[in-house]
Amino acid sequence: MTKEYNVTLIPGDGIGQEISAATQRVIAATGVKINWEVQEAGADVIEKFGTPLPETVLKSIRKNKVALKGPLTTPIGAGFRSVNVALRKELDLYACVRPCKSIAGVKSHYRDIDLVVVRENTEDLYAGVEYPGGSPEADEIIKQAKGKIRPGAAISIKPISREGSCQIVDFAFTYALKHKRKKVTAVTKANIMKYTDGLFLAVAREISRKYPQLEYEERLVDNMCMQLVQKPELYDVLVLPNLYGDIISDLGAGLVGGLGVAPGANFGQNSAVFEAVHGSAPKYKGQNKVNPVALILSGALLLDYLGEKEKSEQLYNAVIKVIAEKKAVTYDLGGTAGTSQMADEIIKKIKE
């Protein structure tokens, strides 16, 4: 009897509906039976629900324990905080995993990149503990700082805990072992932020001793950026606090051709959410124009998580072949195909 899986689907805003539909069709072509429980979230549903993240979305993911999410719109500088951040906090999706792997046929200045960014997802400056300039809270912090902060400054607090650091660093080492990786690099700015990043680094050193079979090294985040541009082939698994992980994961995506080919996954103790990490590109909505690869490859990660490793590899290999052949790819990959036509070609490769 064929196993069936219940998975929450958040199609997303803008182009989300189109690339989500393409991903559903491609996954179905592998033969894996998924019952998709569709949930609405994001900027487009605020008027309907009064919130970009209805409670029904969280209930669905908690029940099914796995979700696939299209891109969601977040206004810059005003309005609600990121739905992506809220999902991670509410579901304690403490680990963000972003594989960055070169794909033949994708334009890039680099070849043979194969690294994984493991980012702490719930602490650091993304905890959202901020106070506007002139507020009583900000003024009190300025007072306590005794001249180190200018009067009237807005304040953002950077919490990093031992528990959170242990959780993410151990995840990185466990991930490295499971996926036959050889090295873990801890990335911080501990030379300047001696208490917060210093704690993260101290924890990384402690945990590294539990995994003698893996090489361990340390880099400062500014140097890490330079190293990745100059000699990315030297790196394997990177583990970082939240903000640095966000920045470095986009840098890694740039090394392999951009966010359009960059899958992503978020893991907690009880659930996992797989997502395309690029934006919702509302100006292309409904045009059947955009590249669906990032979400489709996130779907491959989802299949692997469900235990369907063979089907995951089948899907991944089909995507790689389609991109390499260039016959039915979208404009950003050098072709003229639409979103649905590229999905059709991937399905054809799967069935072959």
Per-residue pLDDT reduced to its tens digit, 71-90: 987 655 445 667 888 888 89
Place of tokens 């001793």: 209
As a whole number, mean pLDDT of residues 82-109 equals 92
pLDDT tens digits, 282-304: 888 989 999 999 999 999 999 99
pLDDT of 47 over the 90 cut: no
Residue 190 banded pLDDT, cuts 50, 70, 90: very high
Q: What is the mean pLDDT of the chain?
A: 94
Predicted pLDDT at 341: 96
> In 3D, which of 181, 30, 29 has the Cα closest to residue 99?
181
Q: What residues are labeled active site? A: 126, 189, 222, 246
Q: Rounded to an integer, what distance in angstroms lies between the CA atom of residue 69 and that of residue 139? A: 40
Examine the pLDDT at 49 and tell me if it is beyond 60: yes
% of the chain beyond a pLDDT of 70: 97
The mean pLDDT value for 330-342 works out to 94
The structure's pTM equals 0.92
> To which CATH superfamily is domain 1-108+258-352 assigned?
Isopropylmalate Dehydrogenase (3.40.718.10)
Tokens of 103: 């794909």
Residue 4 pairs in a beta bridge with 33
Q: What is the pLDDT of residue 128?
A: 84
- Rounded to a whole number of angstroms, the distance between the first and last alpha carbons of the chain is 24
Q: Note the pLDDT of residue 198.
A: 98
CA distance 123 to 198: 15
The rounded distance, in Å, linking the Cα atoms of 42 and 286 is 17
Both tokens of 271, joined, read 């659930």
DSSP 284: G
Provide the phi-psi class of 178: left if phi over 0, else alpha when psi is between -120 and 50, else beta. Answer: alpha
| β pairing state of 130-131 and 155-156 | antiparallel
CB atoms within 10 A of CB 128: 12
Q: What is the pLDDT of residue 75?
A: 54
What is the distance between the alpha carbons of residues 174 and 190, in angstroms, rounded to a whole number? 24
For 33-44, write each residue's pLDDT tens digit. 999 999 998 877
The enclosing H or E element of 303 equals helix 293-305
3-state secondary structure of 8: strand
CA 144, CA 147: separation in Å to the nearest integer?
8
Q: Give residue 81's pLDDT.
A: 63
Task: List the single range of 64-68, 77-81, 122-126 with lowest mean pLDDT.
Answer: 77-81
| Predicted local confidence at residue 18, as pLDDT | 95
Domain locations along the chain = 1-108+258-352, 124-156, 160-255
Token code pair at residue 42: 């994001």
